[in-house]
Amino acid sequence: MIPIDKAVIVRYEHGDNRFEILVDPDKALEIKEKGDISLLSNLDDVLASLDIFKDAKKGERASEEAVQKVFGAEDKKWIFLKIIKDGELHLTTDQKRRMQEEKRKAIVNAIARQAIDPTTNLPHPVQRIERAMEEANVHIDPLKSVDRQIEEVVNKIRPIIPIKIAKARIELKIPAVHASRVYGYLKQLSLVKSEWKNDGSLDAVIEVPAGMQTEVFDKLNSMTKGEVYSKLIQIL
């Protein structure tokens, strides 16, 4: 079980009935976004208490009659899932500030990996993205997923820096001595085309988030000791 002092309340109201549970805020957000009961397979990872409260702050438990009336005889995991999915997550000021900062960093890093400067087709440094967000007074919602906020943030900073979300298509030629090992790495990316040559070398085309170009080139050069041919062939 998570410590009570790190838990937050999720409140679900149905008619005159109110139900509250104590949860880990990050895990609860993940469940709200995915709606997957498998995330509750280990209740100790999500909940600070297996009790369903009428008023968690007062320690007042909801009556079994009220739980039965609203939720029926459903499995208790389903009841927790229902409360988390459809209930309202209540964060303290400190929790909201911490989650907001963590979400901001995650959004900055995600934009740096996915976006480029369309005038140069090169990634923006993290610091440049951060400065643009500050100048644009971007507000980060701690209760919205990173993916749901990326486009909104990019639209807000576009008047300050030239930026767009894009994919980079890259042509590669891998010498035979490195081809097998590099192929395993390429399969972790988006492998558009691959062709094994008679001499054991590999020709390939990959597609990656445009902001990852430098990271991918550095990785391939490290794996092949610089013996890789790589060429950016298209920005999509």
What is the mean predicted confidence (pLDDT) over 156-161? 96
Question: Is the predicted pLDDT of residue 90 greater than 90, yes or no?
Answer: no
pLDDT at 41: 74
What is the mean predicted confidence (pLDDT) over 76-99? 86
pLDDT at 150: 94
Q: Full-prediction pTM beyond 0.85?
A: no
When the pLDDT of each residue in the chain is averaged and rounded to a whole number, the result is: 90
Go through the domains of the chain in sequence order and give each one's CATH number. Answer: 7-90 (3.30.1250.10), 93-165 (1.10.10.900), 167-235 (3.30.70.240)
- The answer to whether the beta carbons of residues 50 and 62 sit under 8 Å apart is no
pLDDT at 198: 95
